[in-house]
């Protein structure tokens, strides 16, 4: 299978290459694509060097699938060109997520919606992916009415520049700033730009994408997203109100058996999910499960996942795997 990775030199693109290799995706030919300034550079895949090519050269090479992680404007411009050439695009940017004509896919939840005609498939936002993977089995059983989520998000979600800023601040070095404020020893309650309603774009992504992925417009979601000086993954405090009551032991059993979920919940041993434990893993880790004693039918939980893997690159590769296994590529 011929595979193009668009944005192959970036944080997520590099992770996509790593995950294609780890999961042994049947790549017969790799076509790395990046911005004009990176053309001709070499990326390594399975110990072999591949030269970065231009968008047009990648289209001309006619890959079966193109994994995009090159930003929204690039995707808006180029994904339709790839699709026009019969290439299936799995896009990691926010460009197509809320487009009514495009599917927004988390394989554990709604891959069954995909058909051969879906030539541009959207990969959801990292913080949304990990939340819905944990919520979906509970929604099926108890019917979610409302979700209140606060996130604690890794600097890797911003990119290399943010990682460099954090490391520079740790060393006391002055350098380029990804954020307006210092991130080390700090928490910044803004991810992406502010919208007219006072929420950030990241917060509204979680609201809108959750409904679309879970195919239920009645789920009410409110979100506060915060950037913290962490590297391993995103953490989320999630308060879920159901229409039906639940049994805590049954909730834990549902999560223990849910695809892509690992239950880490033993307070007697101080065991709960942490970003450093989720780092470089593909699972969504769930713990601190307890009843909200302030109102009925409501649960508190803590959800952690590696945002570059399940939150981005792994989810995209899993979509490609599903398409390949079902003969949709």
Domain containing residue 55: CATH number: 3.40.50.720
Q: Are residues 174 and 256 in the same domain?
A: yes
Q: Are residues 151 and 56 in the same domain?
A: no
Q: Are residues 296 and 152 in the same domain?
A: yes
Q: Are residues 142 and 236 in the same domain?
A: yes
pLDDT of residue 211: 98
Whether 69 and 61 have beta carbons less than 8 Å apart is answered as no
Annotate 182-194 with b (16+ C-beta within 10 A) or e (fewer): ebeeeebebbbee
Q: At 148, list the tokens.
A: 């209140």
Is residue 234 annotated as part of the catalytic site, yes or no? Answer: yes
Q: Are residues 173 and 290 in the same domain?
A: yes
For residue 159, what are the CA distances in angstroms to 86, 234, 242?
31, 14, 36
Q: Are residues 286 and 201 in the same domain?
A: yes
Q: What CATH code is carried by the domain that includes residue 289?
A: 3.30.360.10
Residue 205 dihedral angles phi and psi, to the nearest 5°: -60, -45
Q: Please identify every stretch of the chain with a pLDDT value under 50, giving residue numbers as ranges.
A: none
Q: Are residues 204 and 273 in the same domain?
A: yes
Q: Are residues 53 and 16 in the same domain?
A: yes
Residue of 15, 103, 227, 234 marked active site:
234
Is residue 126 annotated as part of the catalytic site, yes or no? Answer: yes
User: 289 is in which domain, residue-wise?
Assistant: 127-307
Q: Are residues 160 and 262 in the same domain?
A: yes
Q: What is the pTM of this model?
A: 0.96
Number of domains comprising the chain: 2
pLDDT of residue 20: 98
Residue of 126, 138, 255, 313 marked active site:
126
Q: At 99, list the tokens.
A: 């487009």
pLDDT of residue 97: 98
């Amino acid at each position: 299978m011929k595979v193009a990775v668009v944005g192959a030199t970036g944080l997520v693109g590099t992770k996509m290459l790593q995950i294609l290799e780890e999961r042994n995706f049947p790549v017969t030919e790799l076509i790395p694509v990046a911005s004009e300034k990176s053309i001709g550079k070499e990326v390594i895949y399975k110990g072999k060097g591949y030269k970065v090519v231009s968008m047009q050269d990648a289209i001309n090479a006619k890959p079966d699938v193109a994994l995009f992680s090159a930003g929204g404007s690039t995707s808006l411009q180029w994904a339709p060109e790839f699709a026009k050439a019969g290439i299936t695009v799995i896009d990691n940017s926010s460009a197509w997520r809320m487009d009514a004509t495009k599917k927004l896919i988390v394989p554990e939840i709604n891959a069954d919606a995909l058909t051969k005609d879906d030539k541009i498939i959207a990969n959801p936002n990292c913080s949304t992916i990990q939340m819905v993977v944990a919520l979906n089995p509970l929604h099926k059983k108890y019917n979610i009415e409302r979700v209140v989520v606060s996130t604690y998000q890794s600097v890797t979600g911003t990119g290399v520049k943010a990682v460099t800023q954090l490391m520079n601040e740790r060393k006391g070095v002055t350098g380029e700033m990804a954020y307006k404020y210092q991130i080390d020893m700090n928490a910044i309650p803004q991810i992406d730009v502010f919208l007219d309603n006072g929420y950030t774009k990241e917060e509204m992504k979680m609201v809108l994408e959750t409904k679309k992925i879970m195919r239920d417009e009645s789920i009410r979601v409110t979100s506060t997203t915060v950037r913290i000086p962490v590297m391993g993954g995103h953490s989320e405090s999630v308060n879920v109100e159901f229409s039906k009551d639940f049994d805590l032991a049954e909730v834990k059993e549902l999560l223990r058996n849910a695809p892509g979920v690992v239950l880490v919940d033993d307070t007697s041993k101080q065991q709960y999910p942490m970003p450093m434990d989720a780092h470089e893993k593909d699972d969504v880790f769930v713990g601190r499960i307890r009843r909200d004693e302030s109102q009925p039918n409501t649960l508190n939980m803590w959800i952690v996942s590696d945002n570059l893997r399940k939150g981005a690159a792994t989810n995209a590769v899993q979509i490609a795997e599903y398409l390949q296994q079902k003969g949709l590529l």
